[in-house]
Amino acid sequence: MKIDAVDFFYLAMPEITTEADGSQDALLVRVSAGGHVGWGECEASPLVSIAAFVCPMSHGVCRPVGASVLGQAFEGPADIARMAALVEYDSMDLLQAAHTWSGVEMALWDLLGKVRGEPVWKLLGYRRAEKKTPYASQLFGDTPQETLDLGRAARAKGFAAVKFGWGPVGRGAVEIDRDHILAAREGLGPDGILLVDVGQIFGEDVEAAAARLPALEAAGAVWLEEPFHASALEAYGALARRSPKVKLAGGEGAHNVFMARQLIDYGQVGFVQIDCGRIGGIGPAKKIADYAVAKGVTYVNHTFTSHLALSASIQPFAGLAHHRICEYPVAPKQLAIDLTRNHITRDADGEILVPDAPGLGIDIDLAALRTYLVDVEIKVRGERLFATPDLV
């Protein structure tokens, strides 16, 4: 086979707001090769990602991503790795390249699985897929009472694990944050898995983050996620040494394997969270899953869009029995729900299992895509570099 076409579809809700919700728009990627089709999803600004695939070459190591993909031979995983290396080198000065390539790479794995009649996790070397414990990801309430109510509501919906994030925490007094954290614990009950995400609010201020540790320890929080800027490795390492009870979590901002490894080695996180739509796809994520196992760190997926992206995010650690916590989009925008005909649903025990079906095991709903499709045309000097493809 060879890569015949790579098509991008920019989709969006009728109105985009400033809320930190990545499911308000999407960029789906369709790859065609040898009469077969695979689908992937980028996790970044759709227009910028499209531009990274088609932009004119600026110089030898600032080439469009498409130059490393279109027309390439494609028979197996080695070819995906070869194309990844081409993108990494020939587009090293094109900073959106990793995000754009991530969606293409997912689609290549999906296509390959369909050709071979196997799920991607089998192509990655796993013999079986293990159940995962999905956590409900939601914001802290505006008041501790609201946080308490949110915790109770999540448990009533059958979630054993809940992540509270952002909101007022880290923006005011330590005592207010303590009240929110303890309210979250009360809402979840003594056996609920409590996860806390503060969205890089402390920058690199170790003392400010450390001031919240007593409350986190008292509440039995499993992790504190992204207390600092994604690259503030010294701050991560310093805080990690301050509390053996509450592990740090991070990694969604990693755009390559090296960034994720450094967060493990120097940031000393206990949980590494990888987004296949940012790190370069499923292959690099699997490398980090293997690295995490060797280092005694727990691998966790990161995703908050469609169930296509959810399936892709689970593949790299699908077969790891002792790495069970899994991010699960609980209340995405309708766009993210409508994109696919099937979804990864929780079983009677509240757990989920990645599809045992060829490729990513998720079917795209073309009719629904038309509802949200944004028409795009990119021209340079009068030459059309991109136009929204037909959905056929």
Q: Using one digit for the tens of pLDDT, what is the confidence trace for 46-72?
A: 999 999 999 999 999 999 999 999 999
Q: Using one digit for the tens of pLDDT, what is the confidence trace for 76-97?
A: 999 999 999 999 999 999 999 9
pLDDT at 123: 98
Q: What is the pLDDT along the chain (392 residues), one digit of tens a residue?
A: 999 999 999 999 888 888 777 888 999 999 999 999 999 999 989 999 999 999 999 999 999 999 999 999 999 999 999 999 999 999 999 999 999 999 999 999 999 999 999 999 999 999 999 999 999 988 899 999 999 999 999 999 999 999 998 889 989 899 999 999 999 999 999 999 999 999 999 999 999 999 999 999 999 999 999 999 999 999 999 999 998 899 999 999 999 999 999 999 999 999 999 999 999 999 999 999 999 999 999 999 999 889 999 999 999 999 999 999 999 988 788 898 999 999 999 999 999 999 999 999 999 999 999 999 999 999 999 999 999 999 88
CATH 3.90.1570.30 fits 3-118+365-387, yes or no: no
Assigned superfamily of 123-338? Enolase-like C-terminal domain (3.20.20.120)
CA 345, CA 354: separation in Å to the nearest integer? 9
Domain ranges of the chain: 3-118+365-387, 123-338
Closest among 227, 211, 154, 226 to 185, alpha carbons compared: 154
CA 149, CA 168: separation in Å to the nearest integer? 16
CA 357, CA 352: separation in Å to the nearest integer? 15
CA 113, CA 233: separation in Å to the nearest integer? 37
Do 3-118+365-387 and 123-338 agree at the fold level?
A: no
Instruction: Determine the straight-line distance between the first and last CA of the chain, rounded to whole angstroms.
Output: 21
